[in-house]
């Protein structure tokens, strides 16, 4: 069963991340790399991506004639997707366990960030380029 | 350049299950046609639909690293309903695809005009963070 693990945050939270020391960022990245490595070894890894910062986000709507209308103004409280993992696991509990590990990744001073990770199952088979 | 096109929905506004079958079929046919077109142009990386918000869980790591799940969300929370990852030549092309998604038919065949969030995908963490 495929699940997506979504890590979200507000613009204020992303700006806070920029203030982390290099050492703390290195330690955080090392944990995330380790998780990716473990998921690859267990055959559960499908994909992971980090997204560009919220300031690069645009919201697009199609006008009546299909012309894209873009907007880049968002409320401060808006949650942005920061990154995600797609895993192929035996059950929901396993997806929650992986999300728990991501949530426990080290933050400033080596303390767990304890970030909430949203876990959702895929609705149906998606389309792939392969 | 890779972009992610995110279709978000409010928990309260997630009325898709209540659509007439005919409208739902027209909507799915439109999405399949769009995915086919993107695939033929060599721009489709992946497209996935997610399960409904009632199946979403928020996971945090407990003190000993065990996952703590919560499924209670504010009515105003935005949920990711589905996403496309496209590999395109310019942001303008990503916006054009997003506008097509936005104009997907809804109840009665009228365009939904949904807002689609468009963000560049990072190819990897900056080298200094590894």
Please indicate, yes or no, whether the overall pTM of this predicted structure exceeds 0.95: no
pLDDT at position B77: 82
CATH at residue A46: 3.30.70.1060
Minimal Cα–Cα distance from B13 to chain A, Å?
Answer: 17
Joined together, the tokens standing for residue B76 give: 């105003």
The alpha-carbon gap from A3 to the nearest alpha carbon of chain B, in Å, equals 9
pLDDT for res B128: 54
Partner-chain contact B67 A79, CB within 8 Å: no
Q: Hey, are the CB atoms on B51 and A118 less than 8 Å from each other?
A: no
Classify residue A129: in a domain, yes or no: no
CA nearest neighbour of A119 among A88, A89, A95: A95
CA distances from A76 to A59, A69, A96, B5, B37 (A): 15, 21, 29, 21, 36
d(CA B57, CA A97): 12
Q: Are A121 and B51 in contact (CB under 8 A)?
A: yes
State yes or no: pLDDT of B10 exceeds 80: no
Q: Which chain A residue lies closest to B101 (C-alpha atoms)?
A: A62
Largest CA-CA distance found in chain A, in angstroms, rounded: 53
Identify any residues that bridge with B68 across adjacent strands, giving them in sequence order: B60
Higher-confidence position of B10 and B33? B33
Domain assignment present for A127? no
A57/chain B closest Cα distance in angstroms: 5
Q: pLDDT by residue (tens digit) across B68-90?
A: 999 888 877 888 989 999 999 99
CB contact under 8 A, B51 and A121: yes
pLDDT band at B18 (very low <50, low <70, confident <90, very high): confident
pLDDT digits (tens, 9 = 90+) for B97-115: 999 999 998 888 888 888 9
Residue B81 — φ and ψ, nearest 5°?
-95, -35
Range of the domain at A111: 2-121
A128 located within any domain: no
Domains and CATH numbers, chain B: 2-122 (3.30.70.1060)
Record: contact B111-A62, CB cut-off 8 A: yes
Q: Which residues contact A27 (CB under 8 A, 6 or more apart)?
A: A106, A110
Domains in chain A: how many in total?
1
ipTM: 0.80
Nearest to B59 among A61, A99, A124 (CB): A99
Averaged pLDDT in 10-residue chunks for chain A of 130 residues: 93 86 92 94 95 92 85 87 95 95 91 92 62
Chain A positions in Cβ-Cβ contact with residue B11 (cut-off 8 Å): none
Distance between CA atoms of B75 and B67, rounded to whole angstroms? 24
């Amino acid at each position: 069963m495929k699940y997506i693990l979504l890590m979200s945050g507000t613009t204020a939270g992303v700006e806070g991340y920029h203030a982390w020391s290099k050492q703390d960022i290195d330690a955080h990245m090392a944990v995330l790399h380790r998780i990716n490595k473990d998921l690859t070894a267990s055959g559960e890894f499908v994909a992971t991506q980090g997204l560009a910062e919220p300031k690069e986000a645009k919201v697009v709507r199609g006008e009546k004639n299909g012309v894209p209308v873009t907007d880049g103004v968002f409320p401060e409280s808006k949650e942005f997707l920061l990154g995600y993992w797609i895993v192929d696991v035996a059950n929901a509990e396993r997806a929650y366990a992986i999300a728990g590990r991501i949530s426990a990744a080290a933050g400033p001073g080596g303390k767990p960030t304890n970030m909430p990770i949203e876990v959702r199952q895929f609705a149906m088979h998606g389309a792939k380029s392969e | 350049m890779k972009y992610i096109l995110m279709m978000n929905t409010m928990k309260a506004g997630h009325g898709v299950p209540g659509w007439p079958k005919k409208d739902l079929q027209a909507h799915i046919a439109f999405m399949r046609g769009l995915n086919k077109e993107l695939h033929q142009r060599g721009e489709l990386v992946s497209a996935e639909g997610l399960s409904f918000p009632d199946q979403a869980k928020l996971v945090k790591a407990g003190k000993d690293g065990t996952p703590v799940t919560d499924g209670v969300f504010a009515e105003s929370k935005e949920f990711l309903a589905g996403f496309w990852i496209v590999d395109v030549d310019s942001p303008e092309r990503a916006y054009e695809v997003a506008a097509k998604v936005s104009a997907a038919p809804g109840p009665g065949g009228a365009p939904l005009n949904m807002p689609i969030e468009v963000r560049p995908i990072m190819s990897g963490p900056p080298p200094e963070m590894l």
